[in-house]
């Protein structure tokens, strides 16, 4: 149900929206619409969507053909999904295709491979979603302690500066009014919260877009562990330099399973504390702003597994869609 909602929902709506009205009128209904869509999008990323929808909207056969159609098993999920490919062979982005990336050690020697889920690491990159999530994060963490004094909060000004009439000058009641030097501020800032709401689905989509952007830019590395052999900053510096050997500059975000995990933990945070261009964060706290702030993202295999499990968990347990 979650796959059908993903494929037949956002993906088909995006292609159907680009279908011209003349094409829809000429195609008619049912399978003809699917054929028209495929003709207008020969290189579309939706072969699985077309196959699945054709299975749902096909005209019901009659007689013996109906019995044969009922006996025929529907296509499996493995037949509909695109096969996984190595990350180096990814020519188009946003196909929801599983990616096979090499698994490195801290000296960047390959020790295996890891499969990244296409529903998390190969979603279409939407800058508008990234912009909304970053603005939400920065507004949420803003302190909001700004404050200016009004005319009633400024010290002094209790005596009327001059008589009301007779001087030929303007009427004034206090020297702490906003128009006086040293007076209060009118309509100044007050302590408040700048936080605003953002749907959980948008937050999750923003994190998926940020991870997909790093994978598409080839700036995503997966290692077996981030815990250095010795709890020394020099050892950690050598490990990071080995991981970023081909990087134009040193700027990296290290992500482990947890603050007390065996793939990094407290040793990782102590050794990297004095490196200003290295940030450490557990997978539970991985966010869009931290990912976009650094050039490279290094994940442990344990963090990848926990991250995919968490992002695939339904936001509403009773909802049919994720």
pLDDT greater than 50 at residue 94? yes
Last residue of a domain, one of 30, 61, 80: 80
The predicted model gives 271-277 an average pLDDT of 94
pLDDT greater than 60 at residue 255? yes
Percentage of the residues of the chain whose pLDDT score is greater than 70: 74
pLDDT tens digits for range 200-244: 999 999 999 999 999 999 999 999 999 999 999 999 999 999 999
Q: What is the pLDDT of residue 90?
A: 86
pLDDT tens digits for range 61-75: 455 555 565 556 565
Kindly state whether residues 94 and 237 are assigned to the same domain: yes
In a domain, 322, yes or no: no
pLDDT greater than 70 at residue 316? yes
The answer to whether 157 and 183 have CB atoms below 8 angstroms apart is yes
Kindly state whether residues 296 and 205 are assigned to the same domain: yes
**Residue range(s) defining the domain that contains residue 27:** 2-80
pLDDT greater than 90 at residue 125? yes
Kindly state whether residues 12 and 76 are assigned to the same domain: yes
How far, in Å, CA of 131 to CA of 144, rounded? 21
Closest residue by Cα to residue 302 from 262, 267, 275: 262
Q: What is the pLDDT of residue 127?
A: 96
In a domain, 316, yes or no: no
Q: Residue 57 — very low, low, confident or very high, per pLDDT cuts 50/70/90?
A: very low
Kindly state whether residues 258 and 110 are assigned to the same domain: yes
How far, in Å, CA of 28 to CA of 36, rounded? 9
Percentage of the residues of the chain whose pLDDT score is greater than 90: 67
Q: In the numeric block, which tokens belong to residue 153? A: 């909060």
pLDDT greater than 80 at residue 80? no
pLDDT greater than 90 at residue 305? yes
Closest residue by Cα to residue 292 from 202, 226, 214: 214
In a domain, 258, yes or no: yes
Kindly state whether residues 106 and 121 are assigned to the same domain: yes
Kindly state whether residues 108 and 57 are assigned to the same domain: no
Kindly state whether residues 100 and 228 are assigned to the same domain: yes
Residue with structure tokens 């102590």? 270
Q: Which residues fall within 8 angstroms of residue 96, CB to CB, at 6 or more apart? A: 6, 11, 45, 82, 118, 119, 122, 123
β-pairing verdict for 85-86 and 99-104 = parallel
Q: Residue 88 — very low, low, confident or very high, per pLDDT cuts 50/70/90?
A: confident
Kindly state whether residues 97 and 53 are assigned to the same domain: no
Q: What is the CA radius of gyration of the chain?
A: 30
């Amino acid at each position: 149900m979650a796959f059908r909602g993903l494929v037949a929902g956002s993906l088909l709506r995006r292609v159907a929206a680009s279908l011209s009205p003349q094409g829809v009128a000429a195609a008619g209904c049912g399978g003809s619409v699917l054929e028209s869509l495929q003709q207008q999008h020969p290189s579309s990323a939706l072969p699985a969507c077309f196959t699945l929808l054709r299975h749902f909207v096909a005209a019901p056969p009659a007689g013996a053909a109906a019995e044969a159609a009922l006996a025929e098993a529907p296509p499996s999920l493995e037949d509909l999904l695109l096969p996984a490919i190595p990350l180096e062979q990814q020519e188009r982005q946003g196909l929801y295709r599983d990616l096979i990336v090499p698994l490195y050690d801290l000296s960047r020697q390959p020790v295996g491979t890891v499969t990244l889920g296409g529903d998390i690491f190969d979603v279409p990159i939407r800058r508008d979603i990234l912009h909304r999530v970053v603005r939400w994060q920065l507004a949420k963490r803003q302190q909001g302690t700004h404050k200016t004094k009004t005319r009633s909060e400024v010290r002094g000004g209790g005596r009327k500066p001059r008589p009301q009439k007779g001087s030929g000058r303007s009427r004034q009641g206090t020297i702490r009014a906003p128009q006086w030097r040293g007076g209060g501020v009118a309509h100044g800032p007050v302590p408040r919260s700048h936080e605003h709401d953002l749907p959980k689905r948008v937050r999750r989509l923003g994190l998926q877009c940020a991870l997909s952007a790093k994978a598409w830019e080839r700036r995503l590395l997966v290692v077996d562990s981030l815990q250095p052999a010795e709890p020394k900053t020099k050892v950690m510096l050598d490990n990071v330099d080995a991981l970023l050997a081909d990087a134009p500059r040193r700027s990296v975000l290290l992500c482990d399973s947890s603050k007390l995990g065996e793939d990094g933990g407290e040793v990782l945070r102590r050794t990297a504390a004095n490196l200003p261009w290295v940030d450490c964060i557990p997978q539970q706290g991985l966010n869009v702003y931290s990912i976009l702030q650094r050039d490279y993202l290094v994940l442990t295999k344990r963090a990848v597994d926990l991250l995919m499990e968490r992002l695939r968990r339904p936001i509403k347990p009773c909802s049919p869609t994720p």
